[in-house]
Amino acid sequence: MATIRLHATTSVTPEQFVAGLTDFGPGRKELFGNSTDEYLVVHSRGEHEADVTEGSSGIWERLRYDWSDPEHVVLTTTDSNIWGGRSGHTYDFTRQPDGTTAVDVTVVRDGKNLKGRLLALVVGTVGKSVLTKAFAKTINAIEARNARPS
């Protein structure tokens, strides 16, 4: 099992970040590189929760999104072709005095089969730099999305 912690500071508010995180429309890959349109299925969506399958490159997971606390968003893996156990993502948002937002993400990857266990080992070692770059792209994309005039 691998646990990766990521941190960034952004100019967007927690509400703006959560709006991007919970936008399951076409083009989601522009915000989240590992979520392509061909894998994206929204099974259900409520005011503060969603049940969504997403993935890319032969890896998929079904996630229960819970944003009932907009400063602590939890994505729990409920099914996957490689992830199981305690897999998921947690986003914590802290408003800063200067108007920015600190974003802390914890990603847990618990492989449920040989492929998953091997990938969790890679993610937990050399894969952290890949996740860090992907997270930076997500931050930049959400900032750009919110900088556009309405």
- pLDDT tens for each residue of 120-149: 999 888 888 889 999 999 999 999 999 866
Strands 88-95, 101-109: parallel, antiparallel or unpaired by DSSP? antiparallel
pLDDT of residue 113: 96
- pLDDT tens for each residue of 41-59: 999 999 999 999 999 999 9
Give the whole-angstrom CA distance, residue 18 versus residue 142. 10
- pLDDT tens for each residue of 32-43: 999 999 999 999
Percent over 70 (pLDDT), the chain: 98
Task: Set out the domains of the chain in order of their start, with CATH numbers.
Answer: 2-147 (3.30.530.20)
pLDDT of residue 78: 98
* 101, 9 Cβ separation under 8 angstroms: yes
* 7, 103 Cβ separation under 8 angstroms: yes
